[in-house]
Amino acid sequence: MLFQLRQSFFLFLTATIWGSGFVAQSVGMDHVTPFTYTFFRTFLGAVVLLPIVFLVHRRLKKQAQQIAAGEIPASKIHGREGPFNTPKDLFWGSICCGACLVAAESFQQFGLVTTDAGKAGFLTSMYIVIVPILGLFIGKKLNANIVVGVVLSLVGLYLLCIKAGGSFSLERGDTLILICAVVFSFHILTIDYFVRRCDGVYLSCGQFFAASLIAFILMVVVDGDVFSWDNVFAAGLAILWSGIMSNGVAYTLQVVGQRGMHPTIATLIMSLESVMAVVFGTLLLDERMTSREGIGCALLLAAVLIAQISPRMLLSLWQQRKQAQIIVQEQPETTTQRTDTTAKSAAPVEAVQPAVVTVEERR
């Protein structure tokens, strides 16, 4: 239970940072091209994680010695038996996750050029529907509360992102962002697969280096004739925020937080990104939240809670509470019984003492 709460908190922090970074992403796009922006933010994210990787390397080395000595079983540390964090798994995990990451971010950046923010937020969060559908093909099961959570989140996202009376139609930018949502779905499922075989910080750093390499090649090929360092410096603050916080911190929290979590529940928690974007817009940009947007936020929060609290968990908690009440009620009765037993056992002693005195008097 505590493990699930900790992982959920990590994913909520991820959504919070992503929601706060939307302004930086929009500002950066005013100065540089999508591939240039993606290259610098992913490369910066990888560099920021390097010191943490060295610290994690010491911990993994110590754990490997304990496992080899038989002091701790591998399953207790890594959650599985067999090799963990092998170069092969780390290499392919970095390549697959990095390719998904650079593709999703690039489609999103190109789509934001022609799509308004509200519709973009709704379409990007469509991965909460796509992930469970794709998960069915790889053996991921769904229960009723997850399905209810997905439906509620869709309604909430629509109320949050689409203005009242606004028409909903797909244009070129919308299609690109919808493709971005599909790629993000593959990214989430890819992380879910490799995080069981690799350390989360290693995998996060590796995916950023792989993504930055792919983005650099695309930047040179596509944006080589329009690249300018002046534009990069103009977008410096936006790149720093996206690279350090949105990439280095948030994506690492995602990788670590997804370990041991159902992919669909993880996507529902991360879909709170749209809610946090509205909250930060209200706090920092003096934007006002309408009642329609407030209802959408409430539905999203309810969807996350419903998806994580299953009926079986509630029944288990109710039974534990009932047993605790029974134990508390039995304690006074037990104390009373012990008192009565002590009094009864003391009575024969009092009866024996006069008999002893009588024998001594006769003597």
Are 279 and 158 found together in one domain? yes
* Final residue of a structural domain among 274, 290, 309: 309
Residues in contact with 335: Cβ distance below 8 Å, sequence separation at least 6, in sequence order: none
Domain that holds residue 326: 311-363
Are 290 and 321 found together in one domain? no
Are 125 and 231 found together in one domain? yes
Are 287 and 341 found together in one domain? no
Are 201 and 164 found together in one domain? yes
Are 250 and 108 found together in one domain? yes
Domain count, the chain: 2
Are 150 and 247 found together in one domain? yes
CB atoms within 10 A of CB 314: 11
pLDDT tens, residue order, the chain (363 aa)? 677 778 788 888 888 887 777 667 767 777 888 888 889 988 998 898 888 888 877 777 777 776 666 666 655 555 544 556 688 889 999 999 999 999 998 888 788 777 666 566 667 777 777 887 788 887 777 777 778 877 887 787 777 666 666 665 567 877 888 898 889 889 988 988 888 888 878 888 899 999 999 999 999 988 877 788 888 898 888 888 888 888 778 877 877 787 777 776 777 777 777 677 767 766 765 666 678 777 877 787 777 667 666 666 656 656 776 776 677 666 655 555 555 555 555 555 444 444 444 444 443
- Closest by CA position to 231, among listed 26, 29, 22: 29
Q: Are 91 and 154 in contact (CB under 8 A)?
A: no
pLDDT of residue 43: 92
* Final residue of a structural domain among 309, 329, 349: 309
Are 186 and 131 found together in one domain? yes
Are 259 and 342 found together in one domain? no
pLDDT of residue 163: 67
6 vs 8: CA distance, rounded Å: 5
Are 86 and 141 found together in one domain? yes
Residues in contact with 32: Cβ distance below 8 Å, sequence separation at least 6, in sequence order: 40, 231, 232, 235, 239
Are 176 and 61 found together in one domain? yes
Are 275 and 348 found together in one domain? no
